């Protein structure tokens, strides 16, 4: 210990000052880097745990919330439109079935008319 | 979580993959080791006026021993740093603490060398080299600390 104190005492003062300054600089830069690293990819505020962690990495929190709101609205409208499209499809299918059925009835009626026409011609003779 | 280190070809692939972002650290490790090696193979170097500051700084040691110990110390520090970088490449999860410590030691070495050259009162090309090496080490410390911050957040492996 005495040897160490004597050694430090024998060093020129500027050397000790430079040593202290460099040491302070190293720890300062290290601390700054650590804080920046922690902040760089922090989860987005107001976002769910899962989504926030991903969105926070690429865009800022406010933008992320706006995008999530817009996306939810579009998804909701799309779901409504999908439901309406399904109902329209069902109606078209029902009408098509009715049209096919009516076509059958028309064919039957035409056959009956032909039969009646033949009967009238035969009885006229 | 898998903590198994890479081995064989995987180790080489991982080291080369991480070599780009760690390039300044590899070069600084190389500079340190080669600087130490040169001090060991050129024993009369510290007798030149440019190096007088080194003898002044370590005046409690015999002049011959200053160069030898500094050479051995720098060679060991450089090789240890290379080993640390290989460990960093070998592990699946990065080791920013090792990199921070080695960059911190490197920073002390380069600024110490700058101070010693400046103490010799001879202006030479050292002025264009070693202060920038010290600044480069500060950048390395910042990068490694940044990586540690991201690792604590669970973002990087």
Which among A15, A21, A30, A54 is the top mutation candidate for probing chain B, defined by the most B β-carbons within 10 Å of its own β-carbon?
A30
Tokens of B53: 């500051």
pLDDT digits (tens, 9 = 90+) for A64-88: 788 888 888 898 889 888 889 999 9
Q: What pLDDT does residue A17 have?
A: 87
Sorted by where each begins, the domain ranges of chain A are 61-125
On whether residue B3 sits in a domain, the answer given is no
Tokens of B24: 């300044």
- For residue A32, which residues of chain B lie inside 8 Å, CB to CB? 142, 145
Instruction: Print pLDDT tens along chain B (157 aa).
Output: 445 566 666 666 666 666 667 889 999 999 999 999 999 999 888 989 989 999 988 888 888 899 999 999 999 999 999 998 888 777 766 678 888 999 999 999 999 999 999 988 888 899 999 999 999 999 999 999 998 888 776 655 4
Tokens of B10: 């995987």
On whether residue B1 sits in a domain, the answer given is no
Burial B20-48 (b: 16+ CB within 10 A, else e): eebeebbebbebbbebbbebeeeeebbee
- Measured between alpha carbons, how far is residue A56 from residues A15, A47, A72, A75, A106 in Å? 45, 9, 18, 22, 67
A2, pLDDT greater than 60: yes
Q: Are B93 and B75 in contact (CB under 8 A)?
A: no
Q: CB distance from A82 to chain B under 8 Å? A: no
Residue linked to tokens 């007798």 = B47
What is the total count of domains within chain B?
1
pTM over 0.90: no
Q: What pLDDT does residue B33 have?
A: 96
Give B71-122 as a DSSP string.
Answer: HHHHHHHHHHHHHHHHHHHHSSS--HHHHHHHHHHHHHHHHHHHHHHHHTT-
Contact B142 A12 (CB under 8 A): no
- DSSP reduced 3-state for B48: coil
Name which residue leads in pLDDT, A63 or B142. Answer: B142
Burial of B131 (0-12, 13-18, 19+ CB in 10 A): middle
Name which residue leads in pLDDT, B112 or A3. Answer: B112
Average pLDDT rounded to a whole number, residues A91-112: 92
Q: CB distance from B104 to chain A under 8 Å? A: yes
ipTM above 0.90, yes or no: no
Q: What pLDDT does residue A58 have?
A: 54
Contact B104 A26 (CB under 8 A): yes
pLDDT digits (tens, 9 = 90+) for A8-61: 666 677 888 888 999 999 999 999 999 988 887 665 554 455 454 555 455 577
Q: What pLDDT does residue B149 have?
A: 86
Shortest Cα distance, chain A CAs vs residue B8, angstroms: 32
Range of the domain at B86: 8-152
Burial of B96 (0-12, 13-18, 19+ CB in 10 A): buried
Nearest to A33 among B108, B111, B142 (CB): B142
Q: Are B26 and B134 in contact (CB under 8 A)?
A: no
- Other CB atoms closer than 10 Å to residue A50's CB: what's the count? 9
């Amino acid at each position: 210990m005495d040897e160490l104190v004597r050694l430090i005492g024998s060093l020129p003062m500027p050397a000790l000052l430079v040593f202290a300054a460099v040491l302070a600089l190293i720890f300062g830069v290290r601390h700054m880097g650590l804080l920046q690293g922690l902040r760089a990819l922090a989860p987005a505020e107001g976002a769910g745990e899962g989504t926030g962690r991903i969105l926070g990495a690429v865009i800022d929190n406010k933008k992320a919330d706006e995008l999530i709101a817009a996306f939810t609205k579009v998804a909701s409208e799309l779901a409504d439109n999908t439901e309406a499209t399904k109902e329209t499809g069902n109606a078209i299918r029902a009408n098509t079935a009715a049209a096919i059925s009516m076509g059958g009835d028309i064919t039957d009626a035409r056959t009956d008319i032909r039969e009646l026409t033949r009967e009238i011609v035969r009885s006229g003779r | 979580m898998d903590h198994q280190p890479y081995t064989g070809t995987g180790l080489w692939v991982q080291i080369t993959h991480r070599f780009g972002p760690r390039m300044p650290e590899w070069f600084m490790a190389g500079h340190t080791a080669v600087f130490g090696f040169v001090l060991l193979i050129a024993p009369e170097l510290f007798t030149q006026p440019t190096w007088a500051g080194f003898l002044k700084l370590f005046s409690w040691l015999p002049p011959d021993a200053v160069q030898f110990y500094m050479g051995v110390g720098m060679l060991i520090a450089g090789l240890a740093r290379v080993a640390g970088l290989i460990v960093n490449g070998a592990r699946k999860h990065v080791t920013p603490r090792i990199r921070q410590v080695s960059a911190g030691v490197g920073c002390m070495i380069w600024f110490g060398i700058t101070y010693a050259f400046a103490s010799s009162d001879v202006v030479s090309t050292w002025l264009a080299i070693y202060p920038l090496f010290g600044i480069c080490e500060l950048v390395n410390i910042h990068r490694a600390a940044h990586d540690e911050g991201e690792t604590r957040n669970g973002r990087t492996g």
